[in-house]
Amino acid sequence: MRTQVAIIGAGPAGLLLSHLLAGEGVDSVVLEARSRSYIEQRVRAGVLEHPTVQLLREAGLADRLDREGMPHAGITLRFGEPGERRDHHIDFHDLVGRGITVYGQQEVVKDLVAARIADGAEIGAQLWFEVSEIAISGIESDAPVVAFTDAEGRRHELTCAAVAGCDGYHGICRPLVAPRTIERTYPFAWLGILAKAAPTHHELVYSHHPNGFALYSMRSPEITRLYLQVPPDTDPASWSDARIWDELGTRLAAEGFHLNEGPVLEKGVTAMRSMVAEPMRRGRLFLAGDAAHIVPPTGAKGMNLAVADVAVLAGALRDLLRGDHRAADAYTRTCLSRVWRAEHFSWWMTSMLHIFDDATEFDRRLQQAQLAYTVSSRAAATSLAENYTGFPHGAVL
Ligand code: FAD
Ligand code: DHB
C-alpha cells in the first residue's frame, strides 16, 4: 500500500491533519489502535479556543459546532476567606474582544470521522481502526514504511513520504523522535464526572477552596461536567456519587449559587503533568498534539495545542511534498513557541488555583495575592483572557 502521509492515531490531531491535508490535495491514511465507537465516546476536553473554532469553520467542520456549541464570553474565578467567598468575572469579550466555545472533544472527533467518510475516506482503506503492532522504519529516508496488523490479524505495509505521530501521550512515536523530554508532575489529580443535571450557571467556574480546587463546566443544556482536585493515586471507585456531590457542594459553595445534582454518567481520574518533547521532528517523522506535549488541564489548552500543531503541519507537509523544506525545517521552532506559552499558562493557572499540601504560609499568601491581582487589575485579567481565548495560529512570540 502507498499513501503520501501515514498518520498514527485518530484523536483530534490525527483526524484533523488528515482532513486539512485532503483540502490541500494530499492523500493520507490514518491508523488507530482503538475502535471507532471508543474514540467517539471518550470523554475528555471541552473548551475550544477562538482560533480553534475559526479553523474548524474555515475547514468546513463547524455545522454542528455552530448549532450545538455553547459560546462563552468569559469565566468566573471563585475564591475568598470563609464568609467572604465570592465570584470574580473575567470578561473575555470586554478584555480581548473574543471568547471560547464549549463543545465536547468527542463531538469534534465524531464530526471529523464523519467529514473524512463524507469526503470519500473508507474504513479499511484510508481509515483503519483496531490496528496493532505498528512498526515504523526508514524515517531518515524519503520513503518511510509503516507496518501494522489490522483488526482481522492481517499484516500490511504502508509506504509513504512522511509519517505524522499523532498517537497521544502513551503512543509509540515520541521515543523515535525526541531524545529527551522536559517534565513536571503535580502532587494531585482531577476526578472528573459527567452528570445528567442541567447547568445552573452560564459560565465555567474555577473555584479555589481550602479543601482543594473544583471546576464547574458543562456540555449541553442537560449535561454538567465537573472536576475535583484529588490525591494523585485516587481510585475513582473510592468516590461514591454521594461523596462527589457532597464535596462539589462544599467547594463550589457561594452566595446565590445552586448546584443541580443528577445521575453520574461517567467518572474518571486524570493525572496532572507538564511535558515537552524536543525536537518535534526527526527526518520524515513529525510529532503533533499530546504525542509531543502535555499540559495540566487547568488552562484548557491540550486539544487546542493539538489543533494548532496540525494547522502548521498540514502546510509544512504540503510544501515538503512539493520539494520546499522550509516550513518542515521550522516546524519544531514554530510549534514550540506556542507550546511553551501554553505550558507556562497552564502551570500558572494550576499553581494559582490548587491546594498544595506542602505549601508554607508564605506560599499561601503569594497565591492569595496572585488571585487578588488577577481579578482586580485590568492588565492582569487581560493577560489571562489573551492566553485562555488563544493566540492566532503559527508562531506565538
Ligand atoms: P489523543 O486524543 O490522545 O489521540 C491519540 C490517539 O492515538 C488515540 O485515539 C489513541 O487511541 C491512538 N493511539 C495511541 N497509541 C497508538 C498506537 N500505538 N497505534 C495507533 N494508535 C494509537 N484540552 C483542551 O484543549 N481543553 C480542555 O478543556 C481539556 N480538558 C481535558 C480534560 C481531561 C479530563 C483530559 C483527560 C484532557 C483534557 N484536555 C483538554 C486534553 C485533550 O483531551 C488532549 O490534549 C487531546 O486529546 C490531544 O489530542 P491528540 O489527538 O493529540 O491525542
Ligand atoms: C473543561 C476542562 C478543562 O480542563 C477546563 O480547564 C475547562 C473545562 C471541560 O471539560 O469542560
Per-residue pLDDT tens for 230-243? 999 999 999 999 99
Is residue 16 predicted with pLDDT exceeding 80?
yes
Give residue 373 CA to ligand 1 midpoint distance, Å. 33
Number of domains in the chain: 1
Residue 287 lies in a domain: yes
Q: Does 230 map to a domain? A: no
Q: Has residue 66 been placed in a domain?
A: no
For residue 128, report the distance from its CA to the centre of ligand 2, in Å.
Answer: 29
In a domain, 117, yes or no: yes
The answer to whether the CB of 299 is under 6 A from ligand 1 is no
pLDDT tens figures, 275-328: 999 999 999 999 999 999 999 999 999 999 999 999 999 999 999 999 999 999
User: What pLDDT does residue 223 have?
Assistant: 95
By most ligand atoms within 8 Å of CB, the mutation choice from 43, 47, 105, 269 for ligand 2 is 47
Q: Give the total residue count for the chain.
A: 397
Confidence check: pLDDT of 148 > 80: yes
Rounded Cα gap, residues 274 and 90, in angstroms: 25
Average pLDDT across the chain, whole number: 97
- What distance in Å separates the CA atoms of residue 134 and residue 173, rounded to the nearest whole number? 10
Residue 290 CA: nearest ligand 1 atom is 52
In angstroms, what CA-CA distances link 251 with 50, 59, 243, 350, 372? 29, 40, 12, 16, 19
Q: What is the CATH number of the domain that holds 24?
A: 3.50.50.60
70-113 tens-digit pLDDT: 999 999 999 998 888 999 999 999 999 999 999 999 999 999 99
Q: Indicate whether residue 289 lines ligand 1 (CB < 6 A).
A: yes
Please state the ipTM of this predicted complex.
Answer: 0.95
The pLDDT, as a whole number, for residue 145 is 98
Nearest residue CA, atom 41 of ligand 1?
302
- pLDDT, residue 10, reads 98
Query: Mean pLDDT across the stretch 121-148?
Result: 97
- Give SS3 for 159: strand
Q: Does any ligand 1 atom lie closer than 6 A to the CB of residue 45?
A: yes
- Residue identifier of the C-alpha nearest atom 26 of ligand 1: 300
pLDDT digits (tens, 9 = 90+) for 189-205: 999 999 999 999 989 99
Task: Assess whether pLDDT exceeds 80 at residue 397.
Answer: no
* 168 alpha carbon – ligand 1 mean position (Å): 5
Residue nearest to atom 5 of ligand 2 (CA): 300
CA of 226 to the centre of ligand 2 (A): 8
Closest CA to 254 of 307, 219, 216: 216
Q: Which structural domain range is residue 121 located in?
A: 5-49+104-182+274-361
Output the pTM of the full model: 0.97
CA of 290 to the centre of ligand 1 (A): 6
Question: What was the pLDDT predicted at 51?
Answer: 97
Cell digits for 368? 492569595
Residue nearest to atom 11 of ligand 2 (CA): 46
**Residue at 35 is within a domain:** yes
Asked if residue 46 has its Cβ within 6 Å of ligand 1, the reply is yes
Q: Given the CA of residue 225, which atom of ligand 2 is nearest to it?
A: 11
CB of residue 47 inside a 6 A radius of ligand 1: yes
Three-state DSSP class for residue 313: helix
Nearest to 146 by CA among 176, 118, 111, 119: 176
Residue nearest to atom 7 of ligand 2 (CA): 300
In a domain, 259, yes or no: no
- Has residue 386 been placed in a domain? no
C-alpha distances (whole Å) from 337 to each of 9, 162, 394 are 24, 23, 9
The ligand that comes nearest to the alpha carbon of residue 313 is 1
Q: Are strands 214-220 and 205-207 parallel, antiparallel or unpaired?
A: antiparallel
As a whole number of angstroms, the distance between CA 69 and CA 91 comes to 19
Q: Is the CB of 72 under 6 A from ligand 2?
A: no
The 10s digit of each residue's pLDDT in 155-193 is: 999 999 999 999 999 999 999 999 889 999 999 999 999
Nearest to 211 by CA among 168, 177, 183, 252: 252
In a domain, 262, yes or no: no
Gap from CA of 297 to ligand 2 centroid (Å)? 7
